[in-house]
Amino acid sequence: MSTKSGTTWTVYDANTMTQAEIYGQVLCDLGEANPKIVGLSADLAKSTKIGMFGDKFPDRFFNVGIAEQNMFGVSAGLARSGLLPFVSTMAAFVTMRAGEQVRTDICYQNLDVKIIATHGGTSFGAAGSTHHCTEDLAITRAFPNMTVIVPADGIETANAVKACVDWPGPVYIRIGRGFEPTYYKDENYGFQIGKAVELNPGTDITIICCGVTVLQAMEAAKILKESDGLSVRVLNMHTVKPIDEEAILKAVVETRRIITFEDHNVLGGLGSAVADVVAKSGKGCAFDKVGIPDCFCVVGYPEDLYSHYGLDSNSIIDKVREVMGKDFEEDESWEDEV
Amino acid sequence: MPLTDQEIKELKARAKQIRLDIIDTTVAAGGAHIGGGMSIVEIMTILYYKYAKVDPSNPKWEDRDRIVVSKGHAGVCVAPVLANKGYFPREDLKSFNQFNSPFGMHLDSLKVKGVDASTGSLGHGLSMSVGMALGARVQGKSWNTYCILGDGECNEGSVWEAAMSASHFKLTNLITFVDRNKLMIDGPTEQVMGLEPFADKWKAFGFIVKEIDGHDFNALSEAIEYAHSEKSGPVLIMCNTIKGKGVDFMENEVKWHYGSVDSVLAQKARESVEKMS
């Protein structure tokens, strides 16, 4: 299955392995090199793939059963003992069922606990709202000390998991259910926590995206170039916190139009994080957010949900055209003299 | 080994000083969780002055025993214990609850030396203690982890998640105390949310339970030494205690869960503590 050498991932791996499988493999490699790494699961060792680590290092792996609150408390205790816990369960259970343990036991004590949350956004579409998680970025962003990362695909997941080992403090890495198409061809593109990746240069408008929307944004940029002659900048904002303010401000000045694009409630996630920076800049900028409207989602396979909620390339193309049509510089109701 | 008469005398003197410091800290703070602070004084005293391997000059000593006061509102007891033990000057206690003080009513492990876990939100400490006990096992360390739970706290479901895991992982390096003072904010535990048969619940969750008088140093000593020697499963020491212990007008009084003490009341409280045998 894997054609990896060391922790280098190839196209073949990314196309045949899910984000979670790649995470599981990378964690095994990291665990080999670092005996401080321990793993925790709450009866989801198989679906989150942390079980791969458990099979390899049974003495450093703890399945606490279906008890997420306990799992995060236990991980805090392990971290306080000098170990480096990697903890996995579904995003909804990390941020809501055990949200207080994550905030108080881990973030308040600023502990080195690395959380890999699977089934983020609507990626577990058919399971319904109990298992969707379109709130997690809003929640984790508001926890002091927390770093929040949303990798675009399996390759970027590998990069994020490796990078978080040496990144101080708690880290929340949000991945999907595992059947998302990949964007990256290889891992050597200079991934750095807190630094956006400019995937496509552009001067007319910027799409700022993360996670599963990255591939859609890139497809849209290509189509818009060909059909509308638009130069669309695409920023992969894989780190939602701390957000890359410099890249956003550069986009404000250089493209003056920004659309954020995420599989998350439009309230509180990437869009809100970017909006904070745009508003603070004091510069005129046409701005819109594309994400899940403030609702509990319908049931369906992720690809159907993505089209239904406008998270596919066709929808973002329509949104780009709409925002390009906004004549924000000549607003007649603007009272310049006040 | 039973405690010697001299040891008991010394422990009682320590406990008395800690109670007096709790009163002074409550005065300085303008109010504190004095009732539940007083009920764990003997547990804390015997841990810090007899059994726990800790080094106040090196609070982060890797091989130290861990002490997690899960009933975090007992910070008004924990801080005086740590001050007496030498982690920081007793003088510092005067800043309790004050602006920008390291000492809030629930102690912050990043700000107060000697605190192994930031607690205050109930139902978190036993999970963190399980993690510390597992941490010792993974690293081949011999430290023990001591966790002190409130009885009302055991209404929290997460306590029982942690209990399940402590016995599942056979954590014999974890010693858990329950401060069974039988009162919580809204009234007696059995009226607010019944816990009985409390010991049986712990037994059903796989703990070996010792039920003792939590103010009796001999009983505490015997139970802790038993727990150290027991290798078949985690031990829980159910400490029957009196909320407000030592201050006659506070003992077993629901209203003294949290309270303010003015100089007149403080004097009465000190006199009562001085009279303790």
Residue A218 belongs to a domain with what CATH number? 3.40.50.920
Residue with tokens 């992969």: A236
Residue of B126, B138, B164 to mutate, interface with A, max A Cβ within 10 Å: B138
Query: CA dist A295 to A27, A125, A133, A243, Å?
Result: 35, 14, 11, 25
A75·B131 Cβ contact <8 A: yes
pLDDT band for position A302 (cuts 50, 70, 90): very high
SS3 call for A84: strand
The verdict on A93 and A27 lying in the same domain is yes
The verdict on A169 and A226 lying in the same domain is no
B109·A109 Cβ contact <8 A: yes
Task: Judge whether A109 is closer than 8 Å to chain B, CB to CB.
Answer: yes
* ipTM computed for the complex: 0.96
The verdict on A75 and A134 lying in the same domain is yes
> What does DSSP say about strands A232-236 and A114-118: parallel, antiparallel, or unpaired?
unpaired
SS3 call for B275: coil
Q: How far is CA A277 from the centre of its chain?
A: 18
User: Is residue B87 scored above 70 in pLDDT?
Assistant: yes
The verdict on A126 and A246 lying in the same domain is no
Nearest CA in chain B to A75: B131
B127·A78 Cβ contact <8 A: no
Chain B CB contacts of A81 below 8 Å = 66, 131-132, 134-136, 138-139, 141
The verdict on A144 and A19 lying in the same domain is yes
Residue with tokens 């409630």: A265
Nearest CA in chain A to B62: A81
Q: Which domain holds residue A206?
A: 197-324
- A126-166 residue pLDDT tens: 999 999 999 999 999 999 999 999 999 999 999 999 999 99
Q: Residue A283 and residue B172: Cα distance in Å, rounded?
A: 62
Q: A76 CA to chain B: closest CA distance, Å?
A: 6
Chain A CB contacts of B66 below 8 Å = 80-81
Q: Which of residues 31-70 of B touch A (CB under 8 A)?
A: 62, 66
pLDDT for B7:
98
A75·B132 Cβ contact <8 A: no
A77·B164 Cβ contact <8 A: no
The verdict on A142 and A224 lying in the same domain is no
- B1-11 residue pLDDT tens: 899 999 999 99
Domain ranges of chain B: 5-274
The verdict on A41 and A118 lying in the same domain is yes
Q: Taking Cα atoms as reference points, which of A48, A146, A44, A39 lies closest to residue A103?
A: A146
Chain A CB contacts of B109 below 8 Å = 109
A73·B132 Cβ contact <8 A: no
Chain B CB contacts of A109 below 8 Å = 109-110, 117-118
pLDDT for A18:
84
The verdict on A164 and A220 lying in the same domain is no
CATH code at position A143:
3.40.50.970
pLDDT for B277:
85
User: Count of domains in chain A?
Assistant: 2
**0.90 exceeded by pTM:** yes
B127·A38 Cβ contact <8 A: no
Q: Residue B88 and residue B240: Cα distance in Å, rounded?
A: 31
The verdict on A230 and A280 lying in the same domain is yes
The verdict on A140 and A261 lying in the same domain is no
Residue of A37, A74, A78 to mutate, interface with B, max B Cβ within 10 Å: A74
Q: Residue B125 and residue B105: Cα distance in Å, rounded?
A: 16
| Nearest by CB: B130 against A60, A65, A74 | A74
A70·B110 Cβ contact <8 A: no
Task: Judge whether A58 is closer than 8 Å to chain B, CB to CB.
Answer: no
Residue A66 in any domain: the answer is yes
pLDDT band for position A7 (cuts 50, 70, 90): very low
Question: How crowded is the C-beta side of A224, counted as CA atoms within 13 Å?
Answer: 29
Angle CA A27–A46–A135, to nearest 5: 80
Task: Judge whether B116 is closer than 8 Å to chain A, CB to CB.
Answer: yes
SS3 call for A262: strand
pLDDT for A96:
98
User: Is residue A30 scored above 80 in pLDDT?
Assistant: yes
Residue A258 in any domain: the answer is yes
The verdict on A168 and A216 lying in the same domain is no
- B50-68 residue pLDDT tens: 999 999 999 999 999 999 9
B169 CB neighbour count, 10 Å cutoff? 17
CATH 3.30.9.10 fits B5-274, yes or no: no
Burial A209-220 (b: 16+ CB within 10 A, else e): bbbbbbbbbbbb
The verdict on A210 and A84 lying in the same domain is no
Residues of chain A with pLDDT > 70: what percent? Answer: 92
- A89-122 residue pLDDT tens: 999 999 999 999 999 999 999 999 999 999 999 9
